[in-house]
Amino acid sequence: MHLGKGDKVLESIQSEMDRLGVKNAVLLSAIGSMRKLTFHVITETTDKSVDKFITIEDAIEVGAMQGLILDGEPHLHIICSDKDNNKYVGHLENGCEVQYLMELSFMEVKDLNLIRKKDEFDNAYIDEK
């Protein structure tokens, strides 16, 4: 999958998976550049997740992204840095924008019956469908 200048990363991935009818896949590789990064990180070690949402608008170099698409829903994490070499790691959110390009490689996994469920603390985990 190739994304170009101004494309929304997560929204484009979701749209393409929907268009192709891909329910389950593994993100094998993702590299590129962004002008806007939106992600979240956990901030506490409590039973229920307490997240901090962060948006960076700067020149961002994407070193890696990984994750799964289960039952049509992407869950992706990113490792990247800005022009001053500040590092950012976290759960990718809607709103990220490509600066020049992004190349992503997915492997569809057919006959996989996994979904994400919520535990008693409202935290997601993988289970059989």
**pLDDT above 90: residue 114:** no
**pLDDT above 90: residue 35:** yes
Rounded average pLDDT over 69-80: 96
**pLDDT above 90: residue 64:** yes
With bands split at pLDDT 50, 70 and 90, how would you rate the model's confidence at 51?
very high
Rounded average pLDDT over 41-52: 94
Amino acid at the residue 43: T
DSSP 4-59: ETT-BHHHHHHHHHHHHT--SEEEEEEEEEEEEEEEEEE---SSS--EEEEEEEEE
With bands split at pLDDT 50, 70 and 90, how would you rate the model's confidence at 1?
very high
Global pTM reads 0.91
Number of residues that make up the chain:
129
State the distance between the two ends of the chain, measured CA to CA, in whole angstroms: 28
**pLDDT above 90: residue 19:** yes
Percent of the chain with pLDDT over 70: 100
**pLDDT above 90: residue 128:** no
126 compared with 59, residue with greater pLDDT: 59
**pLDDT above 90: residue 129:** no
User: Fold for domain 2-121?
Assistant: 60s Ribosomal Protein L30; Chain: A; (3.30.1330)
What are the residue boundaries of the structural domains of the chain, listed by start?
Answer: 2-121
